[in-house]
Amino acid sequence: MSDKKQIYIRRRIEAVAGLLVLGLLLLVVRAVDLQWLQSERLSNLAEKQRYREYTALAPRGSIFDSKGRILAESVEIPSIAAMADEVPAERMGELASALGVSKKRVQRKLGKRTGFVWLARQVTPSVAERVMALNIPGVRKEKGWRRYHPLGPETGHLLGFVGIDGNGLEGVELAWDSSLTGESGLRQVRRDARGHSLPDGAWLREPVPGKPISLTIDATIQSIAYAALSEGVRSQNAKGGSVVVMRPKDGAILAMASWPGYNPNNFRHAKPSEWRNRAVTDVFEPGSTLKPFSVAAAIASGKWKADSIVYCEKGAMRVADYTIKDDHPEGWLDLTGVIVKSSNIGVAKLALDIGADPLHEMLRKAGFGQKSAIGLSGESPGIVLPLERWGPVETANIAFGQGIAVTPLQLAAAFSVLANGGMYVAPKLFADHLSTTEELNHRVIPAEVGRQVIEMLEYATTEDGTGSKAVPIGYRVAGKTGTAQKPNARGGYSRNKYNAVFAGFAPVENPELAIVVMVDEPQKSIYGGQVAAPVFRHVAESVLPYLGVAASGDLREGWQTVEAVGERPAFTADSLYGMSMREARFFAAQRGLRLHVHGSGWVSRQKPANALALNQGDALEVWLNE
């Protein structure tokens, strides 16, 4: 081989080697570029290709009644969305048809827009399947939750409702929104080349489901209360009304209903003014239902006794420049008579005698003028004037329930005080609070005074009283009617607009229910005894057997006894021997005697012996034995 040829071969080898070295060098440069300089960006791109993140929606907590029945539940439901710029214009017609809306509406939503657009929120699964079967580019199905309240209008005001984005907007749903709302989770999964998820996924953020809550409400009692109220309101062509049913012993709210109702599953069809829970947001003047508290304050002051008598001025009494009137003019009445006959003048005199301070203090302790600890949003504290503004007129007026405003819930809690023998037990709606709010309980009235007022209230529901229509056969009821003129915009009282109220509890011997019924602007009758008392009876006679409180067979005969007493053959006698306490009281009230009673049962001794010789205002003392 010649030298020339050898040199040529070497040059070729060197050239190839040089090219190889250059190639290797370029590879090294590229490797450095990819592995070092672009490492982060490329890694991110690879990660995005291999990993995918899913949002896992957390359901809202359910709401249960006291027996574990569902009052509110969230159900997964599809929604249809689209990436606006990806949907072909020529397929909008069939998309609209599948969604059941006009083509124009779909075009309006998608036209001239880019990115994510909701086409239809919370559609039925069949609509979602129909839309997805069309396989239109850019259209997708999204999961969401819809809230259902199976009892509908019956729990509408109480539970409120949830907006389309899952936020509580009214009632319990709003008040406990933070607890009921869950936190959505984020899960990352690795995908293979075919897009299938591999099993080594990890939660970037675990979903936290909303916490379920249990209320003290009983769905059956709620339904009964709502039905009774709607019947009562409709029969009176009234504007509206509220019922609160409370268990006095522990303050559990068993039912809270308002009328007119609305369906929370379709809340947009009702006016916003109809959404509010009137039992806690609306205030009214309680009228005569406040009298038991005035009488209790008078007895608790020590200046008055249950059998003290008061002159009711034959129907009109002047206080400063204001005249207080009674619907039924009365003369001398004992305190039971004042309650039974519902004398404004009687309680006004008691209040003026004991002064503003004790009455104000009693009303404050009974929960008026302040929000309860029930926790519902929009609750009104009611209106109780500050003590410095209580002149004689205000004191007299407030004593019979004018110039003070309360909510139905406050009135129920206050009557529970009487049912509990003078102890205030805070109303509760949340089952967990039943054992945790005992520090709010306090004594309002001495137990003995409470017992005396209960007797008076029971008497107010006999045939002699205004609340006889509240009593279901077989049960003893203590309660008070109220008929209050509604205030007008000019600062006075309307001539033809009234609230009819009945508040009471049953059975008297061991109260299981405190019930307040308020009917707003009844048209056929304005009186609490005619309008609200029958609603009370309807609720009590349905709920008491349901709670396991048996009716007493003896009480059927009881009514006949009262009628016999009404004929008064015994009162022609000169002695009270053998009379019941009720008969003795009637005897004394009829003659304007001051009656002092000892013991219970039937009269076995009296002083003086000849009662017929006594004059009005004289004292008569009787001893009763079982």
Which amino acids are annotated catalytic? 288
Site pattern 224..243 for another protein (x: CB under 8 A): x-xx----------------
- To the nearest whole angstrom, how small is the minimum distance from the Cβ of residue 168 to another protein? 18
Span interacting with another protein, options 47-55, 327-335, 466-474, 570-578, rule CB under 8 A: 466-474
Among 148, 493, 571, 623, binds another protein (CB under 8 A): 148
Q: Does 547 bind another protein (CB under 8 A)?
A: yes
Residues 153-172 that bind another protein (CB under 8 A): 154
Alpha-carbon span 84 to 67, nearest angstrom: 48
Q: How far is the CB of 551 from another protein (least distance, A)?
A: 3
Q: Is 551 in the site for another protein (CB under 8 A)?
A: yes
x/- letters, 49..78, toward another protein (CB under 8 A): ----------x---------xxx-xxxx--
Rounded Cα distance, 82 and 109, in Å = 10
**Nearest-approach distance from CB 45 to another protein, in angstroms:** 24
Residue 609 engages another protein in binding (rule: CB under 8 A) = no
Among 131, 151, 217, 423, binds another protein (CB under 8 A): 151
Q: For another protein, which is the closer residue by CB, 378 or 545?
A: 545
Name the phi and psi angles at 74, rounded to 5: -100, 135
Nearer Cβ to another protein (103/556): 556
Stretch in the footprint of another protein (CB under 8 A) among 31-39, 169-177, 197-205, 564-572 = 197-205
Instruction: Identify the H or E element spanning 116.
Output: strand 116-120
Tokens of 616: 């009005």
Region from 151-159, 500-508, 560-568, 601-609 binding another protein, contact rule CB under 8 A = 151-159
CB closer to another protein, 71 vs 603? 71
Between the alpha carbon of residue 491 and those of residues 65, 484, 488, the distances in Å are 42, 15, 6
Decide if 171 contacts 63 (C-beta within 8 A).
no
Contact 374, 429 (CB under 8 A): yes
DSSP assignment string, 476-501 = --EEEEEEEEEE-TTSSEEEEEEEEE
Closer residue to another protein (CB): 75 or 387: 75
Closest contact distance (angstroms) between CB of 49 and another protein is 18
Q: Provide the minimum distance between the beta carbon of 261 and another protein in the complex, in angstroms, as a whole number.
A: 11
Contact (Cβ atoms closer than 8 angstroms) between residue 224 and residue 542 = yes
Residue closer to another protein, measured from CB, 204 or 550: 550
481 within 8 A of 288, measured Cβ to Cβ: yes
Whose tokens are 């406050």? That residue is 410
Q: What is the DSSP string of 149-162?
A: -TTGGGGHHHH--B
421: amino acid identity, one letter = G
Can you tell me the distance from the alpha carbon of 497 to that of 291, in angstroms, rounded to the nearest whole number?
A: 21
Q: Does 550 bind another protein (CB under 8 A)?
A: yes
Q: Does 546 bind another protein (CB under 8 A)?
A: yes
Residues with Cβ < 8 Å from 558, sequence gap 6 or more?
none
Among 3, 40, 90, 192, binds another protein (CB under 8 A): 192
Q: Using CB under 8 A, pick the residue from 262, 267, 475, 505 that binds another protein.
A: 475
Beta bridge partners, 319, equal: 322
Name the nearest CA neighbour of 162 among 193, 203, 121: 121
Q: Reduce the DSSP state of residue 46 to 3 states and report it.
A: helix
Examine residue 116 and tell whether it contacts another protein (CB under 8 A).
no
C-alpha torsion sign, points 316, 497, 519, 364: negative
Does residue 390 bind another protein (CB under 8 A)? Answer: no
Tokens of 537: 């009876």
Say which residues have a Cβ less than 8 Å from residue 102's Cβ, sequence separation at least 6: 96
Phi/psi for 610 (5° steps) reads -100, 95
Angle formed by the axes of helices 447-459 and 408-419, nearest 10°: 110
Minimum CB separation of residue 191 from another protein in Å reads 10
Question: For residues 574, 577, 578 and 579, what is the CA-based torsion angle, rounded to 10 degrees?
Answer: 60
Closest separation between CB of residue 246 and another protein, Å?
A: 19
Q: Show the binding pattern over residues 405-444: x = contacts another protein (CB under 8 A), - = does not.
A: ----------------------------------------
* C-beta of 148 vs 571, nearer to another protein: 148
The single residue listed with the structure tokens 């006999």 is 462
Q: 280: helix, coil or strand?
A: helix
Least Cβ distance, residue 61 to another protein (angstroms): 12
Distance of closest approach, residue 510 Cβ to another protein, in angstroms = 14
Out of 50, 556, 568, 598, name the contact with another protein by CB under 8 A: 556
Number of residues engaging another protein in binding (CB under 8 A): 41
Of residues 207 through 226, those in contact with another protein by CB under 8 A are: 219-220, 222-224, 226
Q: Would you give the binding string for another protein spanning residues 513-542, x where CB under 8 A is met?
A: ----------------------------xx
Q: Are strands 619-625 and 594-599 parallel, antiparallel or unpaired?
A: parallel
* Neighbouring residues of 563: CB distance < 8 A, sequence distance ≥ 6: 463
Smallest gap from Cβ 552 to another protein, in A, equals 8
> Binding residue for another protein (CB under 8 A) from 320, 473, 573, 609?
473
Measured CA to CA, the distance from residue 49 to residue 34 in angstroms comes to 17
Does 553 engage in binding with another protein (CB under 8 A)? yes
Q: Where are the beta strands (DSSP E) in 304-431?
A: 309-311, 316-319, 322-325, 332-334, 423-424
Give me the residues that bind another protein (CB under 8 A), please.
Answer: 59, 69-71, 73-76, 148, 150-152, 154, 192, 196-199, 219-220, 222-224, 226-227, 472-475, 541-542, 544-551, 553, 556
